[in-house]
Structure 1
Amino acid sequence: MRGFIHPGNVNTFVAPRALASGDGFIVGSDFAVATGPAAQGGEVEGLQIGVVDLPKATGANTDVTQGTKLYWDDANRRVTKSSAGNVLIGTARRDAATADTSYRVRLTGQIS
Structure 2
Amino acid sequence: MKNYIQSGDTVTAPAPAGGTVSGLLYVIGSLIGVATITAVEGVNVPFKTSGVYELPKTSALAIAVGDAVYWDAANKVVNKTSAGNTLVGYATEAAANPSAVGRFRLNV
> Aligned Cα RMSD in Å?
1.0
In the alignment, which residue of structure 1 is the partner of 2:4? 4
| Displacement after TM superposition at 1:2 (Å) | 2.3
Number of residue pairs the alignment of both structures matches: 107
Gap runs ≥5 in structure 2: none
Whether 1:90 aligns to 2:89 is yes
| Displacement after TM superposition at 1:18 (Å) | 1.9
Whether 1:34 aligns to 2:28 is no
- Give SS of 1:4's match: coil
Per-residue displacement from partner, 1:30-89 (whole Å, max 9, x unpaired)?
111101111111111101111101100122xx1011100000111111101111110101
TM-score by length of 1: 0.90
In the alignment, which residue of structure 2 is the partner of 1:51? 52
Q: 2: CA distance between counterparts of 1:32 and 1:74? A: 13
Query: What amino acid does structure 2 have at the position aligned with 1:14?
Result: P
Mapping of 1:40-79 within 5 angstroms? 40-59=41-60, 62-79=61-78
Q: 2: CA distance between counterparts of 1:85 and 1:103? A: 21
TM-score by length of 2: 0.93
Is the 2:90–2:106 Cα contact (8 Å) retained in structure 1? yes
- Give SS of 1:3's match: coil
